[in-house]
Amino acid sequence: MSSLELLPTTCKAGVVVEYGANFKLEVQDVPVPEPGPGQLLIRLNATGVCYSDIHYMLEDLTLPRMSEHGVRSPGHEGAGVVVKIGEQVKNWKIGDRAGIKPTWDTCMSCELCWGRLECHCPEAIPTGLKVPGTYQQYIVSPARYTSRIPDGVDDFSAGPIMCSGSTMYRSLVDSELRPGDWATFLGAGGGVGHMGVQLAKAMGLRVLGIDTGKAKRELCMQLGCDAFIDFVDTDIVKETMRISGGRGVDGVFVTATSKSAYAVAPKLLSVGGRVMCVGMPATGTAFAGDDPMFLILRNIKVIGTLTGTMKDTNDALAFAARGLLKPAYEVFGIDRLPEAVELLRAGQVSGRCVIDFNA
Ligand SMILES: NC(=O)c1ccc[n+]([C@@H]2O[C@H](COP(=O)([O-])OP(=O)(O)OC[C@H]3O[C@@H](n4cnc5c(N)ncnc54)[C@H](O)[C@@H]3O)[C@@H](O)[C@H]2O)c1
Ligand SMILES: [Zn+2]
Ligand SMILES: [Zn+2]
């Protein structure tokens, strides 16, 4: 085991003191963990605040629960530096830049792990759900599944790319849309959606952003959307048809949490179009496109995306290193983490809130 600096014994962390509908998050001092064999200890400089963290604290998804696993810190968009190296670790050194993803580790030896589906591995461990997440400044991570952050991508950008950026990269690849096709993002001004907008433009797609409010409209247009619709005061089916010349769009990426977004998504599509499911709706949401006759008559495909793999994350970071993906973020000091979470829960964040652990 080796470490460069004298490490503290405690660090700051966002800690859940009450789970569920009235969840409560506090910033507390917690012990700095020790890296076991094969693990790195990473000191995070930044973590993004993703809506999935809110789902985990609300415990409103059909997923394992944080409380069942005794996990008190969510978070899965971390960026920092290696400060200590466990036994048996090769190819990493102290001072290397390192990122933490929504999947903390996988078995790496099953068919899913071999075939770009490792996030679905039965042994996959979700970060911030079954193990402590990136709301904690010092975090251990399996060296084999830790992402490297390339030069030219700062930690405030790299953090959100670990989840939001890599998920949208993967979803766009799986959509098989081609340059010139229309891609629509329901939730285009949010943390995940605004990454999709940029990646879609970089891939040569035409982009229709759908969200609400002046700030999100401005962000979408600044990021290169060809058109924007405010879903609150517009008939979005009619308007989408008008913008796409009456045929509908080729792909709809649902990056919102709301039931209404899933309800409308298939209706925006052209014949042969596809709904890309990314936003995680609370347990019990019905998917309006599940009328088989609607899907049959319009040759609609429905595809789900569960975060990006190790390779997807690497590829998304490469877009950022080339200047094609620049997360729009507002920085909050660690003491203001609960405030950032509340703003996101209230739908008041354009782009991402990123936490600065050094502020
Ligand atoms: N599948 C995955 O791997 C994955 C990865 C990351 C996040 N997520 C999920 O994606 C969702 C979004 O996360 P986020 O962090 O970007 O949240 P966010 O709040 O930053 O973004 C959601 C956006 O959707 C907009 N919106 C709400 N209702 C809408 C509607 N009916 N039509 C259009 N826009 C609407 C909101 O105004 C907001 O801008 C969450 O459910 C999260 O859990 C899934
Ligand atoms: Zn996330
Ligand atoms: Zn596996």
Provide the residue ranges of all domains of the chain, joining segments of one domain with +.
2-149+328-356, 165-304
CATH architecture of 2-149+328-356: Alpha-Beta Complex (3.90)
Measuring CA to CA, which residue among 47, 139, 40 is closest to residue 96? Answer: 40
Residues lining ion ligand 3 (Cβ < 5 A) are 106-107, 110, 113, 121
State pLDDT tens for residues 248-272.
Answer: 999 999 999 988 899 899 999 999 9
What ipTM describes this predicted complex? Answer: 0.99
Mutating to test ligand 1, I would choose from 211, 218, 240 the residue with most ligand atoms within 8 A of its C-beta, which is 211
Give the CATH superfamily of 165-304. NAD(P)-binding Rossmann-like Domain (3.40.50.720)
State the pLDDT at residue 226: 98
CA-closest candidate to residue 302, choices 281, 282, 287, 284: 287
Is 132 touching ligand 1 by the criterion CB < 6 Å?
no
Residue 292: pLDDT band (50, 70, 90) is: confident
The pair of structure tokens assigned to 211 is 């969200």
Q: Choose which residue among 118, 129, 192 to substitute to test ligand 1 binding: the one with the highest number of ligand atoms within 8 A of its C-beta.
A: 192
Residue 289 has pLDDT above 80, yes or no: no
For a ligand 1 pocket test, name from 76, 255, 275, 353 the mutation site with the most ligand atoms within 8 angstroms of its C-beta.
Answer: 255
Query: Does the beta carbon of 191 lie inside 6 Å of ligand 1?
Result: yes
pTM value? 0.97
Expressed in angstroms and rounded, the spacing between residue 279 Cα and the centre of ligand 2 is 10
Q: What is the mean pLDDT of residues 37-60?
A: 97
Segment 152-166, tens digit of pLDDT: 999 999 999 999 999
Question: Which tokens is 303 given?
Answer: 């595809």
Cβ neighbours of residue 128 under 8 Å, at least 6 residues apart? 53, 56, 66, 71, 73, 74, 75, 76, 102, 134, 135
